[in-house]
């Protein structure tokens, strides 16, 4: 089902700067085990060695023209379905992070590693990257402590709206752009 979208994204990436389609990066998953995450490339080649390094801020000049749209709609995350098939990730869970970030976790924050990382999660429907890092981690820990099939279904159902309509502001807060 994702093939036409992936083909269009691949064409946009190639037309934008001609570089590679995919970006691969080591991330930390279940029980602290590292795995190779696959994404569509949205930044200039070698971006992790320039500017802010691995950190990406809104308006980062290393993001390509095609990358802006792919990131806005999270199309760059579609190749992670392969990570789900391989068993490294699930559809719902905390977003996988980098080893240097995990090294800074408190014991409570390490609870994020008790579940497989996900393509979407509680923190993503609460505001995605607009939510401060520590708050995102706390939202992920809340998810780990309250996870259930019902909560996963709720997250999956709210994900498209969080992508297309704006940022979800909590269970009782409503939506805004």
pTM: 0.81
Q: What is the pLDDT of residue 168?
A: 36
Q: What is the pLDDT of residue 58?
A: 65
Residues in the chain: 177
**Dihedrals phi, psi of 136, to nearest 5 degrees:** -60, -45
Q: What is the pLDDT of residue 171?
A: 34
Domain range for 170 is 3-176
- Longest Cα–Cα distance in the chain: 45
Which residues pair with residue 22 across a beta bridge? 40
Q: What is the pLDDT of residue 57?
A: 62
Instruction: State how far the alpha carbon of 105 is from the alpha carbons of 55, 94, 100, 137, 152, in Å.
Output: 17, 14, 9, 9, 24
Number of domains in the chain: 1
128, 130, 135, 141 alpha-carbon torsion, rounded to 10°: 10
Q: What is the pLDDT of residue 172?
A: 29
pLDDT tens for each residue of the chain, 177 residues long: 778 888 899 999 999 888 899 999 999 999 999 999 999 999 888 777 776 566 676 677 888 899 988 988 888 999 999 999 999 999 999 999 999 999 999 999 999 999 999 999 999 898 876 788 889 999 999 999 999 999 999 999 999 888 776 543 333 233 232
Q: What is the pLDDT of residue 55?
A: 65
Give the contacts of 32 (CB within 8 A, at least 6 positions apart): 102, 110, 113
Q: What is the pLDDT of residue 117?
A: 98
Q: What is the pLDDT of residue 52?
A: 56
């Amino acid at each position: 089902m994702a093939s036409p979208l992936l083909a269009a994204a691949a064409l946009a990436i190639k037309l934008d700067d001609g570089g590679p389609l995919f970006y691969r990066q080591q991330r930390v998953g279940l029980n602290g085990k590292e795995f190779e995450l696959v994404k569509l490339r949205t930044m200039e080649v070698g971006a992790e060695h320039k500017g802010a390094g691995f950190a990406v801020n809104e308006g980062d000049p290393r993001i390509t023209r095609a990358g802006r749209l792919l990131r806005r709609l999270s199309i760059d995350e579609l190749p992670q379905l392969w990570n789900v098939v391989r068993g490294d990730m699930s559809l719902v869970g905390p977003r996988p992070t980098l080893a240097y970030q995990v090294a800074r976790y408190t014991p409570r924050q390490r609870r994020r590693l008790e579940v497989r990382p996900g393509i979407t999660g509680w923190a993503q429907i609460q505001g995605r990257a607009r939510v401060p890092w520590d708050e995102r981690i706390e939202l992920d820990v809340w998810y780990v402590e309250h996870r259930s099939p019902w909560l996963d279904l709720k997250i999956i159902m709210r994900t498209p709206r969080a992508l297309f309509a704006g940022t979800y502001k909590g269970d009782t807060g409503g939506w805004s752009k």
